[in-house]
Amino acid sequence: MSQSAPDLSHHLSKEARERLPNPMKDIWRRVVSSGRLDVANMANGDPHYSLFPFKQLVFEVPSVTEAQDPVAEWRAGTCPTQSFRSYKDEDCALSLRNAFQYTHGAGLPQCQKVLKDLTDFFFAPPNHTVTLTLGNSDGITKLFRLLGDSGDYFLTDEFSFPGMTNAPLSCGIKWVGIKMDAGGIIPEEMEKILKNWDETKGRRPHVLYIVPVGQNPTGSTLSLERRQKIYCMAQKWDLLILEDDPYYFLQYDLPPAEKIPEVEGTYSQRFAKHLIPTILSLDVDGRVLRVDSFSKILAPGMRLGWITSNKLFHKKLVTYTDSGTQHPHGFGQAFITEMLGEKGWHLDGLCRWLQSLRLDYKRRRDFLLEMFRREVEPTGYATVNIPQGGMFVWMEVHFERHPHYRPGLRDATSSAVAPRTNIETLLLALFEKCMENDVVVMPSSIFSIPEDSMWIGNDNQHVPIRDRTKFFRATFAGTEENIEKGMVRFGRTLKDFFEQPMTVNL
């Protein structure tokens, strides 16, 4: 944040503004900050660490420096291993005495520090603070509560992961989808919504929630140019940006870290060199709240991530965490601190794992695309975008070529924006056909943000999202066997669906 950073406190929800901290923490803080050395503290009901039944934790993991391509060798069972150890009574990066005690909602200082260092190294945000979370789902839903009041509208990608976008609906928050193309949300479409907003009908959206790399479900990645435009617009319209970026380190079309001729220095510097700048890195105002996770790069069951934000939101997040989930578990904090510490992988080692992991996913992606080209494209009924990151491809089906395709439907009675075609019906019929043929792909209707005439306005050019919901999301996170089988069956199902339409039950 610059010296002249704006006051953003008006973005806080009523709940966040009214939340009281635990008054006991003030007393504990007074004790700690008093500097007195011989205090008999009978105030805290913390079990004594000598009662924690853990002598040590051992995490046996791949030895990333001994392997050439650690992920490939790990999968083949040939990768040597190393162990990170956390002790209760011996020296280590984060003693189990602390890891297993109650602590601050932001996490233990040692773990917060290694994550802050990682954040500074990759994203270099000006004057931000790190708050630990229990993974991105926890982090994002906490941010929704922190910023949203009932009746608010939040902006997001018009195709979005419903596990997240459904979450704040029951708190009275509504979504406004921003039109997307292969490159993600279109900044000009966002500006149109903000400019034409009728404030008599509701507060203009003040929050934008996006997944900028390998977006779920479309697989799109926002270019630097779009990021800059979006950030400028956020400044102009006083938006906060929730940058949910679990796939950031899974960017595929970059030169390998080893072979970047213009970069000297450490492995991590070479690895970081060509990663796209995050929106957080552009943030001079403190209006970006970035949400990071280990779920996609280590394992989902880690349930540990972190939010990078300005100090105001950090403080409010901690107060919320202290009277909600509480701080993350000691197991994960011990693991992360050890993993990023001097005796662990350290940042360089993590980057070796990430480099190898992104190669692995790139191979999977390329394999899926190859199978698509072999099994699906020749039918002429579907095309695919090449995702630059993440785990998903977004396959477009050309329903307008289907014998049962009907343009020109219209339902003028609904306040929601009515479809004009039967594309959604065809989509769901094709989905059922796929299920019958033992291939499961996700229909785009599950991800589409419903439109409301309130914010679409009287734009006659506007094609309703239900007429554009002609996609399936497929993942390349699975095995090659699964991917090949899936594409063979998807291609065959498409052929049946388009060429034997009598068997389609609409």
Decide: helix, strand or coil at residue 349.
Answer: helix
- Smallest separation (angstroms) from its own copies to the CB of 158: 16
Q: Closest CB to its own copies among 216 and 221?
A: 216
Please report how close the Cβ of residue 333 comes to its own copies at its closest, in angstroms. Answer: 8
Whole-number Å distance between alpha carbons of 480 and 478: 7
Whether cis (ω within 30° of 0) applies to the bond prior to 126 is no
Say how many C-beta atoms besides its own lie within 10 A of residue 8's C-beta: 19
By CB under 8 A, is residue 15 in contact with its own copies?
Answer: yes
Interface residue with its own copies among 440, 450, 503, 506 (CB under 8 A) is 440
Q: Which of the ranges 129-137, 174-182, 263-271, 496-504 carries the binding residues for its own copies, by CB under 8 A? A: 129-137
The structure tokens listed for 71 are: 């992920």
> Residue 491 CB, nearest distance to its own copies (Å)?
12
Q: What is the per-residue burial (b if ≥16 Cβ within 10 Å, else e) of 196-209?
A: ebeeeeeebbbbbb
Q: Binding residue for its own copies (CB under 8 A) from 6, 21, 126, 202?
A: 21
* Least spacing, CB of residue 127 vs its own copies, in Å: 28
Q: Which of residues 346-365 bind its own copies (CB under 8 A)?
A: 353, 357, 360
Residues 289 and 243: their CA atoms lie apart, in Å, by: 6
Three-state secondary-structure class, residue 278: coil
Q: Which of 7, 10, 18, 33 binds its own copies (CB under 8 A)?
A: 18
| 3-class secondary-structure state, position 160 | coil
Q: Which amino acid is at 429?
A: A
Q: Does 341 bind its own copies (CB under 8 A)?
A: no
Is 295 a binding residue for its own copies by CB under 8 A? The answer is yes
Residue of the chain from 5, 31, 275, 456 that contacts its own copies (CB under 8 A): 31
What track of x and - describes contact with its own copies for positions 170 through 209 (by CB under 8 A)? Answer: xx--------------------------------------
Indicate whether 323 belongs to the interface with its own copies (CB under 8 A).
yes
Which token pair is 195? 């400019």
Three-class SS state of 141: helix
Q: Shortest approach of its own copies to residue 3 CB, angstroms?
A: 32
Structure tokens at 50: 């000598």
Q: Within 34-93, which residues bind its own copies (CB under 8 A)?
A: 34, 36, 38-48, 50-62, 71, 74-75, 81
Task: Please identify which residue in the block is written with the tokens 């992360």.
Answer: 336
Closest CA to 496 of 379, 330, 346: 379
Torsion angle of the four alpha carbons 246, 137, 331, 108, in this order, in degrees rounded to the nearest 10: 90
Among 100, 237, 267, 271, binds its own copies (CB under 8 A): 100
Question: Which one, 86 or 287, has the nearer CB to its own copies?
Answer: 86
Q: How far apart are CB 442 and its own copies at their closest, in Å?
A: 5
Q: How many residues bind its own copies (CB under 8 A)?
A: 109
Per CB under 8 A, does 6 bind its own copies? no
Is the CB of 8 or the CB of 298 nearer to its own copies? 298
Tokens 């019906």 belong to 425
CB of 211 to its own copies, least distance (A): 12
Which residue number, 48 or 259, has a Cβ lying nearer to its own copies?
48
Stretch binding its own copies (CB under 8 A), from 179-187, 193-201, 260-268, 432-440 = 432-440
Residue 264 structure tokens: 């000297």
Question: Any idea which residue has 């004057």 for tokens?
Answer: 127
* Cβ 264 to its own copies shortest distance, Å: 28
Tokens of 439: 């291939």
Q: By CB under 8 A, is residue 325 in contact with its own copies?
A: yes
CA dist 365 and 392 (Å) reads 8
- Give the CA radius of gyration of the chain: 25
**Region 444-503 residues binding its own copies, contact defined as CB under 8 A:** 446, 473-475, 477-479, 482-483, 485-486, 489-490
Nearest CA to 492 out of 369, 368, 367, 381 is that of: 381
Instruction: Please give the structure tokens belonging to residue 90.
Output: 């011996």
**Residue owning tokens 């389609």:** 504
C-alpha to C-alpha distance for 398 and 471, rounded to whole angstroms: 9
3-state class of 310 per DSSP? coil
CB of 351 to its own copies, least distance (A): 14
Site membership for its own copies, residue 326 (CB under 8 A):
yes
Under rule CB under 8 A, residue 310 binds its own copies: no
Q: Which stretch binds its own copies (CB under 8 A): 9-17, 203-211, 280-288, 452-460?
A: 9-17
What is the separation of C-alpha 81 from the centre of its chain, rounded to a whole number of angstroms?
29
Q: CB 188 → its own copies: shortest distance, Å? A: 29
